[in-house]
Homo-oligomer: A and B are copies of this chain.
Amino acid sequence: MTLDPVLARIDADLPHATNRLLELLRIPSISTDPAYKGDCDTAADWLVADLQSIGFEASKRPTTGHPMVVAHTGGDGPHILFYGHYDVQPVDPLELWDRDPFDPQVEDTAKGKVIRGRGSSDDKGQLMTFVEACRAWKAEHGTLPANITIFFEGEEESGSPSLTPFMEENRDELTADIALICDTGLYGDSTPAIITQLRGLLGEELTITGPNKDLHSGMYGGLAMNPARVLARIIASLHDDNGRITVPGFYDGVPDLSNELAAAWDDLKFDHKEFLGEVGLSDPAGEVGRRPLEMIWSRPTCEVNGIWSGYTGDGFKTVLPSEASAKISFRLVGTQDPLKIRENFRKMVQDMLPADCAVTFGDHGASAAGQMTTTHPAFDQARKALSDEWPNAAAYVGCGGSIPIAGHFKDILDMDAMLIGFGKDDDQIHSPNEKYDLSSFHKGIRSWARILDAMTR
């Protein structure tokens, strides 16, 4: 089975492929909002029917939340699982959208054509790149190119409550030789990227309590402990003057960048001025002496995600607040142990409390960092295939975010995962006016056709 006619068919079929994606984008499958439960079901039905039309044995599989879609081709060759998610983020603030988020359209922009609408990049447009590659293959050769399992989730944007139970209950059905995940981006505008490391995530919430009610700052100020001051001292102490995190034992398990990876990343010529410039910043604000790419890919972080205390409305109230709270997250790398760090963080906070203050903690999840096993032959095959499609050679890159599904494939199904995606930094995922470049969609489809070819040749 040859690749070239498949690529030609993908090119010729792009208008129809785009229309199919627009159809899927019109279904408002917002998973976090119960009002859209029926729409999530409709999106799953649409995918089942589409996959059946190209030869998959596809079915909608109930969960206690939104359904999974599972589809198989069966047959010989390597067994490849492809993962994506059909649910989307809410659309508020709606007034910041330039069009109805669920009336998607192809738009001309200064940077080329884009598909505008909620879910276009995250993740409906991305998952359809793989489906369209399969469609072209089937149309051209009458059969699908490998033993493919497709696994679509409908709860990724709402915490994936059904995911791991479903994987555990359907272990045999879902276990393949490798998992492909299409939910990430290119490096820059034209360098295809394979993610080889993901940061872990520890989420903590803390509330410092002092007086048993809000006090009048004239009557008590100066004599009574102010929990907002205590919280500020704790947060200020979490980093030293060199940007290092001061939680005891925090750097246990943080590897230094290997010479090989350092050289590869230096080759990427990451322009931090441009990257930061797009969000109004200029200077790397992480650990002194580290490369900017290390700061976002391979170094652990501690960020304040939210703080609140006292009176925060218009005007002024001279209140001495009874409590102060913060949400704090740690991005983790290497073999840092999230639960040990949680324990050490909490002890550090406890040790900093002055008399009359107490603290309560909330747990917002803990996942370790992920390291992909790039020795699996699929990595080299995909790298070459992607390099054939794009202007620049494919790069192994890190990802500062946390994509727990990759860890679940490893932990539950003992299966390596390869993350390849075609999103761009300016896609505005989770935000108003989300878009997916038509070129991302088109070249994404072609990329998967090439990768399938390379993996099954």
Interface residues of A (CB under 8 A from B): 199, 201, 203, 205, 210-213, 215-226, 228-229, 231-233, 235-239, 272, 275-276, 279-287, 292, 295-296, 299-301, 303-312, 315-321, 324-325, 327, 329, 331, 354-356, 364-365, 399-402, 425, 430
Q: Is the CB of A310 within 8 A of B327?
A: yes
CB pair A306 B321 closer than 8 Å: yes
Q: Is the interface of A mostly helix, strand, loop or mixed?
A: mixed
B281 lies within 8 A of A211 (CB): yes
Q: Is the CB of B329 within 8 A of A399?
A: no
| Complex A-B: 6 CB contacts under 8 Å | A228-B235, A236-B236, A307-B309, A308-B312, A316-B329, A316-B365
Most buried by B among A201, A237, A307: A307
* In the complex, chain B residues whose CB is within 8 Å of the CB of A216: 401, 430
Q: Is the CB of B211 within 8 A of A299?
A: no
Residues of B within 8 Å of A223, CB to CB, are: 272, 275-276, 284-286, 292, 295-296
Starting from the known contacts A219-B400, A285-B354, A306-B310, 7 additional A-B residue pairs (CB-CB under 8 Å) come to A212-B280, A217-B301, A217-B305, A219-B425, A221-B331, A222-B331, A223-B295
CB–CB B306/A312 < 8 A: yes
**Contact assessment for A316 and B321 in the assembled complex, using a CB-CB cutoff below 8 Å:** no
From B284, B303, B324, contact of A217 by CB (8 A): B303
Chain B, Cβ-Cβ closest to A330: B221
A39 to chain B, nearest CB (A): 22
- Say whether A305 contacts B283, CB under 8 Å: no
Of A205, A233, A280, A303, the most chain B CB neighbours within 10 A belong to A303
Complex contact B356–A218 (CB within 8 A):
no
Known: A199-B218, A221-B296. A236 touches B232 (CB 8 A): yes
Q: In the assembled complex, which residues on chain B have CB atoms less than 8 Å from the CB atom of A239?
A: 229
Inter-chain contact A222/B295, CB cutoff 8 Å: yes
Point out which of A272, A280, A287 has the most chain B C-beta atoms below 10 A from its C-beta.
Answer: A280
Chain B, residue nearest A355 (CB): B283
Contact partner, A282, options B213, B304, B355, B402, Cβ 8 Å: B355
B303–A226 touching, CB < 8 Å: yes
Residues in B neighbouring A324, C-beta threshold 8 A:
307
CB <8 Å contact, A296 and B219: yes
Bound-state CA distance A211–B321 (Å) is 29
Q: How far is the CA of A306 from the CA of B226 in the complex (A)?
A: 11
